[in-house]
């Protein structure tokens, strides 16, 4: 089940909210746990989520009692082993077969939904308990609710236990939070359905052209960037909105990353929960930047190898991580004093981001090389042709809208208008109408289209 589906929006969510708010507070976590498991197992058949949840609950109890590094190491290794078996075992078998020229049979494993996300949540909980940064959760139902909480279960953001600990036990739902949650959900749904899906469909069309050009490849690369941004940030918006409806306050996961003026700035704004996870649990424990230059480069390399590998068992993701490592290293050593904002810094950053998502989307290394050569005009392709111009005209308005929507311009205008009392009253009338209109358009689009993938579900 996905958030951008009729069954979720008009059946699952209303039923959950009715049951949730009818029940006394002491039963609401149980209701959330039951509905979250129903949400997860609607399509998922693997019970690794349940096994992982129970295992980490008892490991947390053990670590909280003994404060022994051995138990922490056991917990981290157990979680990484489960993730490695399901996500990476066939990748290693494939590469070993190629290197050793053997034919080891692939394992019959299917990647469980959301395993990368709930594994990292479990690991962060165990480490925080060991460090004394959070208390042990002794109620297995509350811990189960935390891990299976459906807004963040399948595609994040990576919610740390210490950030929702108090709200698991004593949260205060309010009308304002609920209203803001609904608005945030509709914004995310609109990003996903109206922008990410439409731009994704454009990319599919451009990829299937019989006569490709330099311009068609550039459009496709820009399309990949917008599709992934609106797909994932839209999902995060919906997750944050759903959490607000239920009295939880998740941290932001995106902060307009496409307005970044350096790669460093981009990664402060993009998938913030993942960046902060690797910073707090890998980079800083390795010594961060408070070590010799060689060790600092090693630390940076380890983080970005892991960041790339976390996204998928494929060489293109590893290359994607190394690609960002190289540019981050160059910036920190040479370019930081020149990247002070402004048009040049922004164009430089956008170019790096757009190329990165070509690497991210391509199925293998040869496809990446071929696409980049075509985009840079190295394979004697035409610059443009009639077919390319046709699709450019068809999608240029959409790309302009996407460009505006990827910046805080609209939010800033609305906030400026709200500062004036007379206009604020008009906004308070127009705002509900706009959100109802967006929800209606999204519903009509979902009913009429079968193209509705969530890119990050595969991670």
φ and ψ at residue 288, rounded to 5 degrees = 55, -130
Alpha carbons 203 and 208: distance in angstroms, whole number: 9
Residues with Cβ within 8 Å of 36's Cβ and at least 6 positions away in sequence, in order, are 145, 148, 149, 150, 153
Residues with Cβ within 8 Å of 243's Cβ and at least 6 positions away in sequence, in order, are 149, 151, 152, 181, 249, 250
Alpha carbons 158 and 235: distance in angstroms, whole number: 13
φ and ψ at residue 144, rounded to 5 degrees = -60, -35
- DSSP E strands in 318-426: the ranges are none
Residues with Cβ within 8 Å of 32's Cβ and at least 6 positions away in sequence, in order, are 20, 145, 149, 150, 246
For the chain, helix, strand, coil in percent to 5 are 75, 0, 25
Alpha carbons 417 and 24: distance in angstroms, whole number: 40
Alpha carbons 192 and 4: distance in angstroms, whole number: 8
Q: Is 311 considered catalytic here?
A: yes
153 Cα distance to chain centroid: 11
Active-site residue, from 217, 249, 271, 311 = 311
How far CA 334 is from CA of 127, 321, 328, 350, in Å, comes to 35, 20, 10, 19
How far CA 33 is from CA of 146, 148, 191, 336, in Å, comes to 8, 7, 28, 47
Question: Which residue carries 């138990």 as its tokens?
Answer: 71
Residues with Cβ within 8 Å of 444's Cβ and at least 6 positions away in sequence, in order, are none
How far CA 163 is from CA of 11, 134, 175, 384, in Å, comes to 29, 9, 22, 51
Exposure class string for 417-446: b at 16+ Cβ within 10 A, else e:
eeeeeeeeeeeeeeeeeebeebbeebeebb
Residues with Cβ within 8 Å of 301's Cβ and at least 6 positions away in sequence, in order, are 325
φ and ψ at residue 406, rounded to 5 degrees = -85, 5
Residues 81, 134, 72, 283: is their CA dihedral positive or negative?
A: positive
Q: Which residues are catalytic?
A: 311
């Amino acid at each position: 089940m996905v958030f951008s589906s009729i069954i979720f929006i008009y059946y699952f969510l209303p039923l959950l909210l009715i049951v949730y708010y009818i029940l006394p507070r002491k039963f609401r976590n149980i209701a959330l746990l039951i509905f979250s498991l129903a949400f997860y197992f609607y399509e998922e058949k693997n019970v690794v989520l349940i096994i992982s949840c129970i295992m980490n609950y008892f490991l947390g109890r053990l670590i909280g009692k003994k404060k022994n590094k051995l138990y922490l190491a056991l917990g981290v290794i157990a979680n990484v082993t489960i993730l490695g078996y399901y996500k990476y075992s066939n990748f290693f078998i494939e590469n070993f077969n190629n290197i050793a020229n053997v034919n080891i049979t692939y394992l019959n494993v299917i990647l469980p939904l959301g395993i990368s996300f709930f594994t990292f949540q479990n690991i962060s909980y165990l480490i925080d308990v060991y460090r004394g940064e959070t208390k042990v959760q002794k109620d297995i139902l509350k811990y189960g609710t935390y891990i299976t909480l459906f807004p963040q279960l399948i595609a994040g953001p990576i919610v740390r236990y210490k950030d929702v600990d108090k709200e698991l036990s004593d949260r205060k739902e309010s009308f304002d939070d609920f209203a803001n949650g609904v608005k945030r959900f509709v914004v995310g749904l609109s990003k996903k359905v109206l922008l990410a899906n439409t731009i994704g469909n454009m990319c599919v069309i451009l990829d299937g052209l019989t006569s490709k050009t330099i311009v068609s490849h550039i459009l496709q690369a820009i399309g990949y960037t917008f599709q992934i941004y609106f797909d994932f940030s839209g999902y995060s918006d919906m997750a944050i909105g759903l959490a607000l409806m239920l009295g939880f306050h998740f941290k932001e996961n995106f902060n307009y990353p496409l307005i970044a003026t350096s790669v460093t700035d981009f990664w402060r704004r993009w998938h913030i929960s993942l960046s902060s996870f690797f910073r707090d649990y890998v980079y800083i424990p390795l010594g961060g930047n408070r070590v010799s230059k060689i060790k600092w480069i090693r630390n940076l390399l380890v983080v970005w190898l892991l960041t790339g590998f976390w996204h998928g068992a494929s060489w293109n993701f590893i290359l994607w991580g190394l690609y960002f490592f190289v540019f981050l290293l160059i910036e920190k050593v040479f370019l930081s004093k020149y990247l002070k904002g402004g048009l040049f810094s922004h164009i430089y950053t956008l170019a790096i981001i757009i190329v990165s998502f070509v690497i991210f989307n391509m199925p293998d290394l040869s496809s990446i090389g071929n696409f980049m050569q075509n985009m840079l005009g190295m394979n004697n392709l035409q610059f443009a042709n009639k077919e390319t111009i046709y699709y450019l005209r068809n999608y240029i308005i959409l790309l302009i809208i996407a460009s505006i929507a990827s910046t805080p311009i609209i939010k800033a205008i609305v906030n400026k208008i709200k500062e004036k009392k007379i206009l604020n009253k008009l906004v308070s009338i127009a705002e509900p109408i706009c959100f109802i209109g967006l929800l209606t358009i999204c519903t009509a689009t979902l009913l009429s289209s079968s193209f509705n993938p969530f890119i990050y579900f595969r991670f």
